[in-house]
Amino acid sequence: MKAKELADGVKGKSAAVIGCGGLGGWTAEMLARAALRKLVVCDGDVFTLSNGNRQLYCTQSTLNRNKAEVAAEKIRDIGLTDEVKAYGVFVTKENVKEIVEGVDVVFDCCDNVDTRLMIEEYCGEADILLVHGAINDVYGQVTVVYPRDNTLKKLYSHGAETTETTIACVPAFVASLQVALGMKALCGEGEKSLFVADVIDGTIDKLGE
């Protein structure tokens, strides 16, 4: 697909970004420039000094401020999204419906397996497209989850690997892939492969269907 087809294809669509830290900040920024009708951002956390090495919206002026509130301000300032809504809370089983209700796609940019599985289950029940992204060290994974495919349940059957830290180019790279696949899926051209990106090797491999 060409860029114009993708840009035209997402006009009038709405999305929710769950988690506005490393991946979520970059994802929100790129979606803000895709000129969607509505963009919802959600995160209960505040920016701290340790976020500065990789999180786009963490600056001296945003320290100690809620990540979703800051992201919403940036998106409004970009000025291409008709409606921007911020939820300064962590997504839970109790509030997920209110947060993602009515959106065409949810971007999973969370930082823990339990929340990711809960979101997958809800999106399955509510028939909402889910675009999953996750990072660790110098690599990351992205996949489009179609309702009731339980892709993440299979993926995380033994938990997840973690090392100490990452660097800014990793969430930026993986978020780019996440937004690209999300836009493609919104245009009806989605695929179910698991994309594994190794930022330092400069490789993206497709596993699965």
Partner 1 sequence: MVKVKFFGLLRLDLKTSEKLLEAGSVRELIGVLAKDIGQEPYNEKKLKEHVIFVNGKNIVDLKMFRTKLKDGDVVSFMSPVSGG
Q: Which residues bind partner 1 (CB under 8 A)?
A: 19, 21-24, 109-113, 116, 133-141, 154-163, 166, 171, 194, 196, 198, 201, 203, 205, 207-209
Maximum distance among all Cα pairs of the chain, rounded to whole angstroms:
44
Q: Which is nearer to partner 1, 136 or 176 (CB)?
A: 136
Closest-CA residue to 115 (of 87, 148, 141, 91): 91
Q: How far is the CB of 134 from partner 1 (least distance, A)?
A: 5
Nearer Cβ to partner 1, position 59 or 165? Answer: 165
- CB nearer to partner 1: give 4 or 158: 158
CB nearer partner 1, residue 6 or residue 130: 130
Query: For residues 199 and 139, is the Cβ–Cβ distance under 8 A?
Result: yes
| Rounded Cα distance, 209 and 201, in Å | 23
SS3 at position 57: coil
Q: Is there a contact between 17 and 72 (Cβ–Cβ < 8 Å)?
A: no
Residue 172, phi then psi, degrees to nearest 5: -65, -45
d(CA 124, CA 120): 6
CB of 188 to partner 1, least distance (A): 23
Length of the chain: 209
Nearest approach in angstroms of CB 145 to partner 1 is: 13
Q: Which is nearer to partner 1, 37 or 156 (CB)?
A: 156
CB of 135 to partner 1, least distance (A): 5
Q: Nearest distance from residue 45's CB to partner 1, in Å?
A: 10
